[in-house]
Amino acid sequence: MKNPILITGIMLVLVAVSMGTVFNAAYTSNGITFYSPSTNGQVYHYGQTLYINASAGSQYANQPVTITITTPSGVNVDLPPAQTNAQGFVIETLGTFGQGQLSTPGTYTIAVSVEAPSPLGTKTGVIQVVYTPAQATVTIEVLNGETGVPLSGAMVYLYNTTNGIHKLITEGTTGAAGTVTFSVISSNYTQTFQAVAVYSGFVNNSVTFSIVGNQSVTEVIKLYPAVVSIIPIVVMQNGTVVDAGNINAPLTSVVVTQGVPASIIVKVEFAGMPISNATVQASSAYPSLVKVLSVSPITSGPYAGDYNITIEAMVVNTTSAPYEVVLSINASYMSSAQSVSVSVQAYYNSLAILQHSIELIQTDINSLYTDIKTLNTSITSLTISLSSLNQSITTVTKEVNTLNQELTTVNQTASGLSGTVNSLKTSVDTLGTELSSLNTTVSQLKSQVNGILPLVYGGIIAGILGLIVAIIAIVLVYRKIS
């Protein structure tokens, strides 16, 4: 976003120049007067824009200008060619401090050269400015999260995370007090940073914070040993809490009633953080006395993310004297494993046993009631199915009757066709007889024809011979006459 104050200032300068106004705040070098920057050594801060507003005099109107910036590291940066205006002014934007070629803190030298034909020649004015960015002080303290003791020698990495970036800007090592201090180039707007602490044998941790300008910030990062912690916190029987501890004072000994299953709620942590995907196991030193029924993660309720170890102390006697058995609980996560022992003291309590028995009976009754409801639902479903089946049978019966009627009609038609076929058969037999008689007649005629043929052929030959004799006679007569 452009700075409205700077834009307004430039506009005022332009108006003043066009009116021939003389600026009071100005710095002159080799015949070139600088109105912005207006003093040699002027200080700029992060995010400020560097403008050049300088005059070589009206006689240098519309002349080429060369601008060169020398950075604090001694690098010369030539800017694109420029030109004075009709009043001999050169007005250019050189950049913003904290960005690009104006990123390095320190003194910048700006040389402005205006060229003109002889006899005017070239004039070069030089002015210096100083970039002093805001410096924020960031102190990071690294502690052992379990003991609160400072961790000396921890590596701390500082990242700039403004606007979604994640750029490492510096790093350092904590001293004897567990602290390290960084000086960070800041700005006049809010920036976000992340400090990451790393220490051998501990799990990395980080903290995120914001700074503006010359602000001083102190943040604490707690690192926890890369080990698994097992924390028994609650024991319940008959749905009632009978023993309880907490994270700072985990249970090492629990009291239960013989003959009643007990739930020991265990929290598992890795590097000081609760985890719900560890492998948890439990075993009894005397399984004949205290039996481990199950070990399972808890997925809902107030203890979601913890683990439920269900045990049952066997009924050994009916006196008030308890017996004691050690329960071993093991947990592993990644490459770390841990084990704790919990002493289980089992007392005989007839009232608690009776209450548990009643609860078991109630559970059985509830289960039976559920089964009855399920059975009723099944019977209702079966009744509906039977009704549907009866309707299907009725429909099939109707269709069978219809088919029987159609079959009777087909049978009657077939009977009629059978009579017709018999009649046709008789006609065929008659035709066969007549055909046989006709064949006999044809044979007789054939014999007669065979007997007549020699006589016919002899007559024909005799006729032909007679015709030849006649022709010869006619020829002879004809010759005699002639």
Long-range contacts of 161-167 (CB under 8 A, 24+ apart): 161/192, 161/193, 161/194, 161/208, 162/191, 162/192, 166/194
Q: What is the pLDDT of residue 269?
A: 92
Which DSSP symbol is given to 163?
A: G
**Percent of the chain with pLDDT strictly greater than 90:** 51
Which DSSP symbol is given to 15?
A: H
Q: Which phi and psi (to 5°) does residue 226 adopt?
A: -80, 65
Token couple for 459: 């007559």
Q: Hey, CA dihedral for 168, 173, 178, 183, is it positive or negative?
A: negative
Separation of CA 173 from chain center = 37
Q: What is the tens place of the pLDDT at every residue in 418-470?
A: 777 778 788 777 877 877 887 887 787 777 767 766 665 677 777 788 788 88
Report the length, in residues, of the chain: 482
Which residues 6+ apart lie within 8 Å of 236 measured at CB?
A: 242, 262, 263, 265
Q: What is the tens place of the pLDDT at every residue in 11-44?
A: 444 434 443 444 457 999 999 999 999 999 999 9
Beta-carbon count within 10 A of 128 CB:
16
46 touches 134 (CB < 8 A): yes
Q: Which phi and psi (to 5°) does residue 409 adopt?
A: -60, -40
Q: Taking all residues of the chain, what is their mean pLDDT, rounded to a whole number?
A: 86
Interior CA angle at 420 toward 419 and 425, to 5°?
95
Characterize the bridge pairing of strands 32-36 and 49-55.
antiparallel
User: N- to C-terminal Cα distance for the chain?
Assistant: 152
280 touches 231 (CB < 8 A): no
Which DSSP symbol is given to 150?
A: B
129 touches 137 (CB < 8 A): no
Q: What is the pLDDT of residue 273?
A: 87
How many Å apart are CA 107 and CA 132, to the nearest integer?
9
Name the strand (E) or helix (H) holding 368: helix 350-481
Q: Which of 254, 276, 258, 257 is nearest to 267 (CA)?
A: 276
Half-sphere exposure of 428 (CA within 13 A, CB side): 6
Q: What is the pLDDT of residue 16?
A: 42
Q: Which phi and psi (to 5°) does residue 168 adopt?
A: -70, 125
Homologous superfamily, domain 134-225: Carboxypeptidase-like, regulatory domain (2.60.40.1120)
Asked whether the bond before 37 is cis by omega within 30 degrees of 0, the reply is yes
How many Å apart are CA 333 and CA 108, to the nearest integer?
58
Q: What is the pLDDT of residue 434?
A: 78
Domain boundaries, the chain: 4-131, 134-225, 228-348
How many Å apart are CA 15 and CA 285, to the nearest integer?
96
Q: What is the pLDDT of residue 386?
A: 84
Which DSSP symbol is given to 369?
A: H
Give me the residues paired with residue 241 across strands. 236
Name the strand (E) or helix (H) holding 184: strand 179-186
Q: What CATH number has the domain spanning 228-348?
A: 2.60.40.10
**105 φ/ψ sector (left φ>0, alpha ψ -120 to 50, else beta):** beta
Q: Does 228-348 match 134-225 at the fold level?
A: yes
Q: Which phi and psi (to 5°) does residue 413 adopt?
A: -60, -40
Beta-carbon count within 10 A of 257 CB:
24
How many Å apart are CA 224 and CA 70, to the nearest integer?
50
How many Å apart are CA 362 and CA 342, to the nearest integer?
32
How many Å apart are CA 77 and CA 247, to the nearest integer?
63
pLDDT per residue rounded down to tens, the chain (482 residues)? 444 434 434 444 443 444 344 445 799 999 999 999 999 999 998 888 999 999 999 999 999 999 999 999 999 999 999 999 999 999 999 999 888 899 888 999 999 999 988 888 999 999 999 998 888 999 999 999 989 999 999 999 999 999 999 999 999 999 999 999 999 988 778 999 999 999 998 999 999 999 998 899 999 999 999 999 999 999 999 888 988 988 888 999 999 989 899 999 999 999 888 999 999 999 999 999 999 999 999 999 999 999 999 999 998 876 667 899 999 999 999 888 999 999 999 988 755 555 556 665 676 677 777 878 888 888 888 888 888 888 888 888 888 888 888 888 887 887 778 777 778 788 777 877 877 887 887 787 777 767 766 665 677 777 788 788 888 878 777 676 66
Helix (H, G, I), strand (E, B) or coil at 133: coil
Q: What is the pLDDT of residue 475?
A: 77
Does domain 4-131 fall under CATH 2.60.40.1930? My reply is yes
Q: What is the tens place of the pLDDT at every residue in 302-329?
A: 999 999 999 999 988 766 678 999 999 9
Helix (H, G, I), strand (E, B) or coil at 326: strand
